[in-house]
Structure 1
Amino acid sequence: MDLIRDVLDNQLVDRNGRKMGKVDGIVVELREGESPRLAYIETGLPTLARRLHPRIARWVIALERRWGAKRGESYRIPWSKVRDVGIDVDVDLDAEATPALAYEQWLRQAIARIPGGR
């Protein structure tokens, strides 16, 4: 499997078929005397911004914290939770029970506060 081609930037789908963002990063564990091990996939704007430049990532994290949309952290999914990699990356998680949908939930609350937003 080519991780960059087959996993990075692909759609994440939970066990119920709900989209939960894109794979924004791949975390590989380096162990002395052993081959590298794929540990996690990450989703979240800070990870995506870090791919562009570390300074942009710091800026994004500061804005997230100020606006209260998220804690300023990306969500890591253990590779053991990945069920299938194809067009989408299917994971054995419930999207609603993870912080992966924090932006969507924050946006729902923000719109509900607008008069006529319900």
Structure 2
Amino acid sequence: MDIIRDVLDNQLVDRNQRNMGKVDGIVMELRDREPPRLAYIEVGVTTLARRINPRLAGWVAAIARTWGAKQSEPFRIPWSKVRDVGIDVEVDVDAQETPALAYEKWLSDRIITRIPGANHGE
């Protein structure tokens, strides 16, 4: 498996086939005298920003905290919870029980609902 091609930026779905966003990062564990091990996948706007520039990640996290986001840190899913890697990356977690959707909910509540003409779930 090519981790970058097959996992990074692919759609993440929970055990109920609900979208959880995209895989924004991959965390590997470096071990003495052993090959690296996949430890986590990360979901979160700060991880995505860190891929562009580490300073940008700090800025994004600070703005999210200032504007009242409850989850400014990335959410990590242990690699052991990955059930399948195909078109989507399927994980054995329930999206509703995780902070993975916190940023999207915050964005919807604070920004999208204030846009004139935006569909407010009607």
| Superposition TM-score, scaled by structure 1 size | 0.90
Give the C-alpha shift of residue 33 in structure 1: 1.0
Overall identity of the aligned pairs, in %: 70
Instruction: Please name the residue that 2:55 is paired with.
Output: 55
Instruction: Please name the residue that 2:117 is paired with.
Output: none
The root-mean-square deviation of aligned C-alpha atoms, in Å, is 1.8
CA distance in 2, matches of 1:45, 1:70: 13
Give the C-alpha shift of residue 107 in structure 1: 3.9
Dislocated runs of 4+, deviation >4 Å: none
Contact 2:47/2:57 (<8 A) preserved: yes
CA deviation map 1:61-112 (0-9, x unaligned): 0111011123320000000000000010000000000000102332454439
Give the AA of the match of 1:90.
E
CA distance in 2, matches of 1:8, 1:109: 27
CA distance in 1, matches of 2:63, 2:86: 34
Instruction: Please name the residue that 1:46 is paired with.
Output: 46
Contact 2:71/2:103 (<8 A) preserved: no
Equivalent position SS for 2:34: coil
Give the AA of the match of 2:48.
L
Q: What is the correspondence of 1:1-118 to structure 2 with a 5 Å cutoff?
A: 1-110=1-110, 111=113
Give the AA of the match of 2:15.
R
CA distance in 2, matches of 1:64, 1:107: 10
| Structure 2 runs not aligned, ≥5 long | 115-119
| Structure 1 runs not aligned, ≥5 long | none
| Superposition TM-score, scaled by structure 2 size | 0.87
**How many residues are matched?**
115
Equivalent position SS for 1:105: helix
Give the AA of the match of 1:56.
L
